[in-house]
Structures are given as structure tokens and as C-alpha cells.
């Protein structure tokens, strides 16, 4: 079971998001949760989110980077869902589950990153959130300059995500066979 936590404020305006989600939507046993569609008023249903995570073996965090960080609702989702006593502290609801970070940097964001110190200084924050909640951090999939890519390049990238998820599913089946 794979759960995709997708955070983009205007999904119909996101080419990269559409390509990535389009490539994986037909995987059996996958659940896509688009946070801005579910909770436009930021009224996150914590119990429902925790239940979705509890069902899954792999959580995919899929979102663009805005100002070196996840969009505001994604951050709010971390704040609300990863509660003390549930996934950390006395609780360990996510222990051993895999976490794959799939993120895209638009042109503006890549510019901000390029004139700064690159993107690397910012990844440990998201990684640490997963690790602190006892999740298994997989090698992230970062797409830079998403706006400038043509459709072919975008779909090639989306296929890479599909391959990663298929490989993960195969490994799961092998382990339980």
C-alpha cells in the first residue's frame, strides 16, 4: 500500500504535478491525497490523515518547493499529523515505513537556489522530519527547472518515478513471498 501526500495550491496549474501523478495513478493499491483539494481551509482531518499513513507501507511526499521549503499546507500537515505520542515520543506509528520525497523546483525557485548555496542545505530539514518519526528515508527524487522542461523531458522524469515505485512494489512482494 502506497500513500501519496500531494501538496500544490493550484493542481490544475501544475504541469510537473500532473505528469508525475499521471504516471503513477494506475498503480494498484495507491492512494493519492491532494492536501489543497482536501483542506482548502487548512482544516486538516488529523485522524483521517493518520489512518491513511497507518494503512501504507510507503509514503510519498510530492510537492513543489517554495522559498526553500514545502508549501505552507504541507508544513501545516507535518505540524498537525505528526503528533507527540502518535509517531514520536511515546508512539511509533510510522516506525519502519518507507518515505520517498519527490519534489520539483520551478524556475524562480531554482534561481533562488542557484544564487544561494544550492539546494542541498535545505533537504536535511525534510529528511529529518521523516527520520525523527522513525521512517526509512529513501533516496529523494528532485526535479529542477520544471517549468522550462518540454513535455518529453517531463514525462521521462515521471517515468523514473514510476520505475522507482514499481521496483519498490516488487521488492515488497519478494519479501513477503
Binding site for another protein (CB under 8 A): 9-15, 18, 36-37, 40-41, 73, 147
9 versus 91: smaller Cβ distance to another protein? 9
Smallest gap from residue 117 Cβ to another protein (A) = 25
The grid cell for 23 is: 504516471
Q: Could you tell me which residues come within 8 angstroms of residue 126 by beta carbon, excluding any fewer than 6 positions away? A: 61, 70, 101
Smallest gap from residue 60 Cβ to another protein (A) = 20
40 versus 124: smaller Cβ distance to another protein? 40
Smallest gap from residue 137 Cβ to another protein (A) = 29
14 versus 169: smaller Cβ distance to another protein? 14
Smallest gap from residue 9 Cβ to another protein (A) = 5
108 versus 170: smaller Cβ distance to another protein? 108
Amino acid at each position: 500500500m502506497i500513500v501519496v501526500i500531494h501538496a500544490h495550491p493550484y493542481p490544475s496549474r501544475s504541469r510537473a504535478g500532473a505528469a508525475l501523478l499521471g504516471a503513477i495513478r494506475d498503480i494498484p493499491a495507491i492512494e493519492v491525497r491532494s492536501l489543497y483539494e482536501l483542506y482548502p481551509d487548512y482544516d486538516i482531518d488529523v485522524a483521517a490523515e493518520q489512518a491513511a499513513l497507518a494503512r501504507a507501507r510507503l509514503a510519498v511526499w510530492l510537492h513543489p518547493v517554495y522559498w526553500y521549503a514545502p508549501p505552507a499546507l504541507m508544513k501545516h500537515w507535518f505540524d498537525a499529523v505528526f503528533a507527540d505520542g502518535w509517531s514520536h515520543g511515546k508512539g511509533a506509528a510510522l516506525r519502519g515505513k518507507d518515505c520517498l520525497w519527490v519534489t520539483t523546483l520551478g524556475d524562480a525557485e531554482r534561481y533562488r537556489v542557484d544564487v544561494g548555496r544550492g539546494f542541498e542545505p535545505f533537504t536535511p530539514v525534510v529528511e529529518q522530519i521523516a527520520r525523527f518519526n522513525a521512517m526509512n528515508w529513501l533516496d529523494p527524487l528532485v526535479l529542477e527547472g520544471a517549468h522550462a522542461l518540454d513535455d518529453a523531458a517531463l514525462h521521462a522524469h515521471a517515468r523514473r518515478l514510476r520505475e522507482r515505485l514499481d521496483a519498490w512494489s516488487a521488492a515488497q512482494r519478494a519479501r513477503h513471498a
